[in-house]
């Protein structure tokens, strides 16, 4: 059943696959970002309650959704790295962590900028904000653990364990606004998946938001793919396949270096 | 799956399950302390299964909806007092001196931090506004909820006399 996956344990095969799929994330990601941001920031109607200020939702919500989504993918890579001991999976953990940390930071920062005019405060220690801050620390911890060991494989293993264990925080972030009373309001979009409710946002605002959600996914995934390929090349710089890639000119692989 | 991988899978699964259980128990034990605020009902009738009442003099946060018609300005300064309610009938009065957030309206969800000065009276040092998870253009809000769109500059009443009429026109929204 999983036999088709086996060739990708080899760095070479993963690198080639990554090169092939990169444009399918990067180009739609860039296009959708342009469309989604212009649509959301300039053409979507203002909100009945928050006026124009609500527009930060078009950055805040996609960043927050994918800060959690990419954490889950990092945890899965960590699980594969621990159980099957495939080094490429460890490198995937290393590739995802800074991208996820950046998304988490964007969600926290835009949340603070949004909270100041609407709630009246930049920050409050409620369950949602605090658990999202813990997510940022988990990402930073994974990054730090990876380089904290003399032996890189030991670092990769430690980082994978932290990535995997930290996945417990993901449902806590999502359900924090339901389990406890918080200043942060309840979910508008993700409740479609977790509570089978329809999104509580008008269609003319929902569509640009959906575009932005896919745009952020495309861009973040493209960054992860580029990072993973860079790590693969760096680790195997003296291997024939890497030499071949580097010597084949900068034409097709320029975006990997 | 080969036995060594199987063993590692069981071990990692076990570690994950153990951590999940530990986190779950910690959060369960802390559950009431993780709440950001007391609701008015919890202040008047007590919080949790053992109905613990907060003590007078305790610093706490309260969260509830501003009772329509309860906002009173004292003098010409920034002093304001209003009542908060959740499921009712318990109401708690909040006194505050300072600038209210833009979203402050009658019917709006509010979180206030301060000191309990009487069993149902709080002197607040900070008032924060909550908003709900619904987003819609003003025209739709008017059709759906009968809420007239009023620009933020007119949300807050300027003097005592027209407190009620002014705020009813801004349409208190207290669906939560």
Q: B57 with B119, same domain?
A: yes
Q: How many domains does chain B have?
A: 2
pTM confidence score: 0.86
Tell me if A224 sits within 8 A of A70, measured CB to CB: yes
**A182 at B interface, C-beta within 8 A:** yes
Chain A / chain B CB contacts < 8 angstroms: 125
B119 with B153, same domain: the answer is: yes
Q: How far apart are the first and last CA of chain B?
A: 52
Domain contains B111:
yes
Instruction: Provide the token pair at A69.
Output: 């989504």
CB contact under 8 A, A183 and B36: yes
Please, what is the Cα angle at B31 between B25 and B35, to 5 degrees?
A: 155
- Confidence band (pLDDT; 50, 70, 90) for A250? low
| Per-residue DSSP letter, B43 | H
Residue among A181, A186, A202 with most chain B CBs within 10 A, to mutate: A181
Does B106 fall in a domain?
A: yes
Residues B7 and B94 in one domain: no
In a domain, B55, yes or no: yes
B48 and B27 within one domain: no
- In tens, the pLDDT along B28-40 reads 888 878 888 999 9
pLDDT band for B164, please (50, 70, 90 cuts).
Answer: very low
Q: Chain B residue with minimal CA distance to A61?
A: B133
Cβ neighbour number for residue A257 with a 10 Å cutoff: 12
Answer yes or no: are the C-beta atoms of A86 and A80 closer than 8 Å: yes
Domain enclosing residue B162, as ranges: 40-169
Which pLDDT does position A28 carry in this prediction?
96
User: What pLDDT digit, counting tens, does each position of B94-119 carry?
Assistant: 999 988 888 888 888 999 999 999 88
Interatomic CA distance for residues B127 and B99, integer angstroms: 9
Cβ pair A257, A230 in contact under 8 A: yes
B137 and B59 in a common domain: yes
- In this structure, are strands B72-73 and B91-97 parallel, antiparallel, or unpaired? unpaired
CA distance B92 to chain A (A): 18
Annotated domain spans of chain A = 22-41+53-256
At A66, give phi and psi (nearest 5°). Answer: -80, -20
Residues of B whose CB is below 8 A from A50: 103, 131, 135
Task: Give the C-alpha separation, B2 to B6, whole Å.
Answer: 6
Asked if residue B87 is part of any domain, the answer here is yes
Class of domain A22-41+53-256: mainly alpha
Contact flag B142-A48 (C-beta cutoff 8 Å): yes
Gap between the Cα atoms of B90 and B110, Å rounded:
16
Identify any residues that bridge with A26 across adjacent strands, giving them in sequence order: none
- pLDDT for residue A86 is more than 70: yes
B160 located within any domain: yes
Contacts of B141 (CB under 8 A, 6+ apart): A48, A49, B147, B149
**Does B21 lie in the same domain as B91?**
no
A23-61 pLDDT, tens digit each: 999 999 999 999 999 999 999 999 888 888 899 999 999
Confidence of residue B148 (pLDDT cuts 50, 70, 90): low
């Amino acid at each position: 059943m999983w036999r088709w996956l086996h060739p990708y344990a080899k760095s070479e095969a993963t690198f080639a696959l990554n090169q092939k799929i990169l444009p399918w994330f990067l180009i739609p990601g860039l296009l959708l970002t342009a469309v989604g941001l212009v649509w959301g920031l300039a053409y979507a109607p203002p909100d009945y309650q928050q006026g124009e200020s609500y527009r930060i939702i078009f950055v805040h919500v996609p960043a927050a959704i994918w800060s959690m989504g990419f954490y889950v993918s990092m945890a899965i890579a960590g699980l594969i790295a621990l159980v099957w001991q495939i080094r490429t999976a460890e490198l995937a953990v290393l590739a995802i962590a800074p991208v996820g940390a950046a998304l988490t930071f964007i969600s926290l920062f835009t949340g603070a900028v949004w909270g100041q005019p609407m709630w009246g405060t930049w920050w409050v220690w409620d369950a949602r904000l605090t658990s999202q801050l813990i997510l940022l620390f988990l990402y930073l911890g994974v990054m730090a653990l990876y380089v904290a060991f003399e032996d890189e494989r030991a670092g990769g293993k430690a980082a994978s364990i932290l990535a995997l264990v930290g996945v417990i925080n993901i449902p806590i972030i999502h359900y924090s606004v339901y389990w406890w009373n918080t200043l942060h309001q309840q979910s508008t979009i993700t409740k479609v998946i977790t509570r089978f409710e329809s999104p509580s946002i008008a269609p003319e605002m929902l569509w640009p938001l959906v575009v932005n959600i896919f745009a952020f996914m495309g861009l973040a995934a493209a960054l992860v793919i580029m990072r993973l390929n860079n790590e693969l090349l760096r680790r195997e710089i003296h291997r024939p396949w890497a030499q071949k890639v580097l010597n084949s000119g900068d034409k097709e692989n320029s975006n990997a270096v | 799956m080969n036995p060594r991988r199987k063993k590692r899978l069981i071990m990692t699964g076990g570690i994950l399950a153990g951590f999940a259980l530990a986190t779950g128990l910690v959060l369960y034990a802390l559950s009431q302390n993780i709440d950001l605020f007391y609701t008015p009902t919890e202040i008047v009738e007590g919080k949790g299964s053992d109905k613990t009442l907060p003590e007078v003099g305790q610093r706490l946060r309260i969260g509830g909806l501003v009772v329509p018609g309860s906002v009173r300005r004292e003098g010409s300064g920034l002093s304001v007092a209003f009542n908060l309610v959740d499921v009712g009938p318990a109401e708690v009065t909040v006194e505050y001196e300072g600038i209210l957030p833009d979203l402050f309206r009658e019917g709006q969800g509010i979180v206030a931090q301060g000191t309990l000065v009487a069993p149902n009276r709080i002197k607040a040092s900070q008032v924060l506004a909550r908003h709900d998870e619904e987003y819609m253009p003003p025209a739709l809000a008017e059709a759906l909820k009968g809420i007239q769109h009023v620009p933020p500059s007119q949300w807050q009443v300027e003097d005592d006399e027209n407190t009620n009429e002014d705020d009813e026109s801004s349409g208190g929204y207290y669906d939560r």
